[in-house]
Amino acid sequence: MRKKLILIILIITTLTLNSQELRKVENKAFKTGEKITYVVYFDSFITGKIFAAYATFMISPKIEYINGRPCYHAILSGKTFKKWDWAIYVDDRFDTYIDTIALVPWVFVRKAHEGKFKADQQINIDQFKHQAQFIDKRKNTNKVYPIDPYMHDMISAAYWGRNLDFSKMRPGSIFKVKYVFEDSVYTSNVAFGGRETIKINEGKFDCYYVMPEVQVGNVFKDPYPMKVYFTADDNQIPIYATCKIRIGNVRFELYSYENLRNPMKSKIN
């Protein structure tokens, strides 16, 4: 009995220490079971509007555990509509496991099929040791590299960003997002644009918008070509995004949502 009691105390102590080693970030924006679906379309002066694909952000209904830590299992999936498969076939899925206390990821999984390109990758992110392990299952490679504290992947960064207090930001202010992708660490400057009312198929919404920085080159001619609009309420869900590329515009637009954490107060009747 005494040995069992000691073992229980050790387990509780270990779990407590693990919780205290990471920061605590209050999540007010999303919950388990949330599902948001978007339509993706391309438009240009030559082609007009082409509805090309759909994308879904969802969080598994149950909390899952990674390294003894409770996590949200967030999934981003996207696929081209069948009639456009001949032009560019896309069938992607990204999974990330986000710590419910610190809002940082522990595992990021990428399975992608884009035309002739295929990827089957996993990044194990050790938030205690500040290192990441990139595993490429198709190339059979494995690399461990150092990272900064509280690094994100590109999906977890979006959920973390939904909890930022945009009401205290001034237009033009810039915040940095550090994230891992494959075997490298990246830093993206994100400019806060301000507040704006936009109209989409689902109606009018009061929104904040941000502009992430990208690399200028063959695809982008402007370092801030993208605008991402978030509802100006406690959910702060992204409802619309537009991105200028050299041959036109790619747009994401809200199609449906369910199981939001808070009432959709930003919608203007």
In the predicted model, residues of the chain with pLDDT beneath 70 are 1-20, 44-48, 215-223, 245-248
Taking the C-alpha atoms of residue 104 and residue 101, their distance in angstroms, rounded to an integer, is 8
Q: Quick check: is 12 in a domain?
A: no
Instruction: Tell me, yes or no, whether 1 lies in a domain.
Output: no
Domain-located, residue 208: yes
In a domain, 65, yes or no: yes
Q: Is 195 helix (H, G, I), strand (E, B) or coil?
A: strand
User: Is the distance from CB of 170 to CB of 192 less than 8 angstroms?
Assistant: yes
CA 230 from centre of chain = 13
Nearest one of 158, 133, 165, 222 to 26, comparing CA atoms: 165
How far is it, in rounded angstroms, from Cα 89 to Cα 43?
18
165 is a domain residue: yes
pLDDT at 222: 65
Q: What is the pLDDT of residues 131-141, one digit of tens each?
A: 999 999 999 99
16 falls within a domain: no
Range(s) of the domain holding residue 131: 24-268
Is residue 184 one of the residues assigned to a domain? yes
Largest separation between any pair of C-alpha atoms in the chain: 78
User: What is the predicted pLDDT for the residue at 220?
Assistant: 59
Q: Is residue 19 part of a domain?
A: no
- DSSP string for residues in 60-79: -SS-EEETTEEEEEEEEEEE
Which amino acid is present at 258? E
Return the pLDDT at 45: 61
Q: Tell me how many domains the chain contains.
A: 1
The predicted pLDDT at position 247 comes to 60
